[in-house]
Structure 1
Amino acid sequence: MQDSPTNDVPTGLIEQVRSAAASRTPLRIRGGDSKAFYGEKTGGQPLDTRSWSGIVAHEPSELVITVRAGTPLAEVEAALAGTGQHLPFDPPHFGDGATIGGVVAAGLAGPARATVGGVRDYVLGAQFINGQGEWLTFGGQVMKNVAGYDVSRALAGSMGTLGVITHLSLKVLPVAPAEATLVFRLGQHDALEQLHCWGGQPLPINASCWVKDDTAADAPELLFLRLRGAVAAVASACERLAREAGGQRMDNAQAGPDWAACRDQSLPFFNAPSPGLCLWRLSLPQTAPVLDLPFAQLIEWQGAQRWLWAPASAAAQIRAAAAAVQGHATLFRAGTDGAPSVRRFDVESPALQTITTRLREAFDPQGLFNPGRMG
């Protein structure tokens, strides 16, 4: 823990937490609620972070931005775009209200995750309020500013169960000089084989998406590949991949919105085929083969992330298939009945359970924050 890098004290939020701690009142931390569907349902008194908003500092030459947690994600992205920079991990919005604190708390990344890294890879430092109402600072504003356990990065994906995030310092990167999207007509097996082959070569691959939108037998199976990098490298890769696998280059004016729709799950695939089906997220090794599951799928991250629609009753089958290839499955969006009998997250390994328990005991011993959100 280090001295606070700012004097920007979130007095109102601190007082709310201290009052809740004194009365042992659980708190439901929320920003824009764009990810309220994710994880187990949690009760408690709402603690809204959106009033704690604003960009504290942006140093384009240092590739770092420091923001208050309630700042809208769109505002952060607009500020970065003005200097030719971005958050490379493609954070999903899932609605207009997404906040930067929610981005880190949920720990979700978009199509480029497999190439550029995840949310925690870009968290340089954080300030948050623990369960005793203490305002703590971890990390800093440079990559080599961490001694001991990197708590600031542990906040990524913690779903608000460790504390109320107030400030974040994030690493950003320049937007690539060139971008292109190729589309290939390939079945799932051939698409995965091709991605595995390309993955071992010096190609400027940034993201991939394989999908069959329509359940009709003759519907096309398509692999979309996004390239980003130097102008010459992208042009050369486009020519080579088109020649080797028959890819067709898309117009960026069409491809850009399509990738944003993939990121935010507004592609046709993400419209539930039936109200009772659940959207499952499978996290697997990139080299995992085609899974023997009879459900419609969309595949990202060069094979490492697979989405499928299936009933809650298929939970055991899906989780067994994922575990067989050293992966795990998450019930990402429940059907209309809420799937009350199915846990959202897979069971953690004993080692990870121990770490998680100790962190929560250290920062929120009363269990005030988002109780039960992670199961």
Structure 2
Amino acid sequence: MPTPTLPNPGIDSYADPGGGEPPPTPTSPVCDSAYSEHHGCWPCEHREHSDCEASHPSQPSSGRSSPRWDDDEEEDRPHHILTQGDLPTYLTRFQWDMAKYPIKQSLRNIADIISKQVGQIDADLKVKSSAYNALKGNLQNLEKKQTGSLLTRNLADLVKKEHFILDSEYLTTLLVIVPKSMFNDWNANYEKITNMIVPRSTQLIHQDNDYGLFSVTLFKKVVDEFKLHARERKFIVREFSYNEADLAAGKNEITKLVTDKKKQFGPLVRWLKVNFSECFCAWIHVKALRVFVESVLRYGLPVNFQAVVMVPARKSMKKLRDVLQQLYAHLDHSAQTHGQNAQDTAELAGLGFGQSEYFPYVFYKINIDMVEKA
């Protein structure tokens, strides 16, 4: 088959899809995609970025029904945590990880290995995120109680020992929440709510925009009666017992939760970074498997295709599509037709593509922008 000439429609990297004589063997252990079949390595790599992968018939192959990959020194290299900026380089310089996914295994076994690896990461993530979120939720609840309305907030940081009658056999001190609009009513009538209230014992401890916190001293025997009649007058008695040990324990609990949150955050972020890298690498290996399998299903055996990585400029996407369509339209005439019949053909072929995504060559778009844009 004569080698077709493809005008460069503004792409960063390109592999000759038409076959022809392979170029000289490179000195780098990483195979260039222009002659990936020559070296038996796939999928292939280019220089910096990646938007899509394409596979199509090319040179006659050696008839291998499964690919092999050359990893050379990769097994001895230390694990590298991928960041958003590293993803294009990793993808365009991709090599199969022989240590994790031995190519002597069947495709099914390799897929199972990847599935189990990612499944374990997902299970670990659920456990770690649940533990961290539970800790974070408990801390947020305690912090809300420190700053919320007087109806719900923790009163421990507002009261002092001198506000209470302690260690008395007959007397006790209650804390009452009074609406701001009823301050005068409280001051004029609190002694009349029930009998056995200590005269002039009320004191305004704290107030916010809506309520005031008052203390009142009375005999223990009338506490229940006082609560009942206070509620009828729209005064709310807060259950509170002054105990210095309990107050100190509450403050220590917040401090402990803050400390625990800081201790868990750093290791969790590091774990996420490492396992994001693991998942991304596994995902690209799955893409490589899909390119191989779909190409075999579409073009048959013996293996006679090349996989390439292309990075078209955004403004050149349509032009590249048109050129590829012209070059490889003869491989699958159903891609040239329109309407329901073509869509049915694609679905019956098990490809799962809609008409707008079905091409005469195998195509997968890889989105490497993992940071959600605001």
TM-score by length of 1: 0.24
| Larger RCO, structures 1/2 (Cα 8 Å, 6+ apart) | 2
Structure with higher Rg: it is: 2
Report the structure, 1 or 2, having the larger helix content.
Answer: 2
TM-score by length of 2: 0.24
